[in-house]
Amino acid sequence: YIPKENSQAFLYLKRVLHWQQTNNKNTILVVDDSSSARNHIVELLKRRNFNVITANNGVQALEKLAQHKNIKMVITDLEMPAMDGIELTNEIRRVYTREQLAVIGISGASSGIHSARFIKNGADDFLRKPFCPEEFYCRITQNIESLNNIAKIQHAANTDYLTDLANRRAFFRSAESRIKEYINKKVPYCLAMIDVDFFKKVNDTYGHDIGDQVLKVIALYMRKHFGAGLTARLGGEEFAVLLHGLDTDYLHNKLDDFRREIAVSAIPAGDTSISITLSLGVVFDSLDEFSKQMNEADNALYAAKENGRNQIVV
């Protein structure tokens, strides 16, 4: 049966074909105490190129989940020794949100109450055994697609569109928890605010597009110098980085290497090239709460501007 072009069924087939080529990153954990039931599901999934891992019961499933970080979906039977599918779903939801991992319950028991129990305990979907492959694939595809869409939305919400660095929201969210960790583990770190000097003049002289180009180049240099750190564009021509490392000297040198390389670089702009400089305000190993640290870095940045720009003030 060949569906009519652009019909829903046709578009679905197209999606499935696309999937077969692209879903090798999606690993699925199949949990069932019956080896024949397990093998049947594994066989169906392998036909669509999924990576598959198996477990005999809930306890084993939790172990495998802890071992394999790339599992996107768990398909679990209901009745199993040691830990059944409902308990497993419950345990999974204590650790993984629906945005991270999909759970599909399966049961041969005819009572409709099992699907409700699965869903109430955190499963995303339910299949009754025996199922036809068509329904099986529809449910798997639908659930993985919805996970992928969430991932896309999250990426868009956390990324600066122009530079592809973390945006303000993502920086505030991640930096705060990272700093807590550095303080707990007594890891030396610094928080730096970075602002382009006289950027308005770049726009006024060369136009907004060239201005954008300069911001992109700065982001590239940030990636180059601070690969291991958390880098972000906070807005406009203002950036931030959270770095950890050996000690204050090491961190200060890293920031200054970056500042100097930007200052001596000729950034290509149409027929000519532009030189720019940066001012940085930095806080080292502060025990203050995050928003206060940001204020302190901002004050230091202001001092760097007052003091003549193209420099770091601590």
Where does this chain bind Mg ion (CB under 5 A)? 33, 77, 79-80, 195-196, 199, 237-238
Q: Please choose which of Mg ion, ligand GH3, none residue 305 contacts, taking the beta carbon within 5 to 8 angstroms, the exact cut-off set by kind.
A: ligand GH3
> Would you say 276 and 262 are in contact if contact means Cβ atoms under 8 Å apart?
yes
Measured from the CB atom, the residue of 64 and 216 that comes closer to ligand GH3 is 216
Minimal CA–CA distance to 19: which of 29, 6, 28? Answer: 28
Judge whether 42 and 52 are in contact, CB under 8 Å.
yes
Amino acid at 7: S
90 vs 277, which CB is nearer to ligand GH3?
Answer: 277
In this structure, what are the phi and psi dihedrals at residue 160, rounded to the nearest 5 degrees?
A: -80, 125
The smaller minimum CB distance to ligand GH3, of residues 55 and 215, is found at: 215
Q: What is the DSSP letter of 234?
A: E
Q: Of these partners, ligand GH3, Mg ion, none, which one is at the site of residue 62 (CB under 5 to 8 Å by kind)?
A: none
Nearer to ligand GH3, 135 or 212 (CB): 212
Structure tokens at 281: 């305000």
| Residue 211, binding choice from Mg ion, ligand GH3, none, Cβ under 5 to 8 Å by partner class | ligand GH3
Q: How far is the CB of 45 from Mg ion (least distance, A)?
A: 18
Q: Shortest Cβ distance from residue 40 to Mg ion (Å)?
A: 13
Footprint on this chain of ligand GH3 (rule: CB under 6 A):
162, 195-200, 203, 208, 211-212, 215, 236-237, 305, 309
Chosen from ligand GH3, Mg ion, none, partner binding at 11 (C-beta under 5 to 8 Å by type): none
Which listed option, Mg ion, ligand GH3, none, makes contact with residue 79 (CB within 5 to 8 Å by class)? Mg ion
Task: Evaluate whether 28 touches 73 at the Cβ level (below 8 Å).
Answer: yes
Given the complex with Mg ion, which of 133 and 235 has the nearer CB atom? 235
Which residue has its beta carbon closest to ligand GH3?
A: 211
Respond yes or no: is residue 237 known to be catalytic. yes
Q: What are phi and psi of 312, to 5 degrees?
A: -105, 130
Helices (H), the chain: 8-22, 35-47, 58-67, 85-95, 113-120, 133-158, 168-184, 199-206, 208-225, 248-264, 290-306
Shortest distance, position 294 Cβ to ligand GH3, whole Å? 17
Confirm if 274 and 202 have CB atoms less than 8 A apart. yes
Q: Which of 237, 261, 289, 296 is catalytic?
A: 237
Max Cα–Cα distance, the chain, nearest Å: 78
Tell me how far, at minimum, the Cβ of 80 lies from Mg ion, in Å. Answer: 5
* CA–CA gap between residue 285 and residue 183 (Å, rounded): 8
We find the least distance from the C-beta atom of residue 74 to ligand GH3, in angstroms, to be 43
State how beta strands 278-284 and 189-196 pair. Answer: antiparallel
* Active-site residue set: 237
